[in-house]
Structure 1
């Protein structure tokens, strides 16, 4: 099993403590939250960023090795950093 984040652990503990109770229209609520989640995960915004040419070329080479466009690689790295899955090493 994957390691849970602190927030996920709190959710599991809350549900397992039996303090949580179900709502009357569970199916409607599930559909509503799925729609909210889908909107948030698919909403994208174009940005402009200046990078060193050498960094761009290195990223393109790494993306090619992974079999993906370099923009997808950059997006993935940004998402992983923003969600706390990866961290920068302190100097």
Structure 2
């Protein structure tokens, strides 16, 4: 008697990624080397100099949208907030 082929086991995250890919929901980030260089520069700028923790209160909806944008860019949301503030200050 022949054994049935085992079904591949995938995680929920892998299944969601697959479904997103199949549904055309993935968005290309463009040239990956350019993106790496950009985020490396942002990380260097973020880490340079003394840092000071602050606390702010923002609406939950805005925080959720920031987290979504950060996830799309593949970065922590705090880093995105920091880069937005830095860009604003630098004009």
TM-score bucket (shorter structure) = 0.3 to 0.5
Higher relative contact order (CA 8 A, sep 6+): 2
TM-score normalised by length of structure 2: 0.47
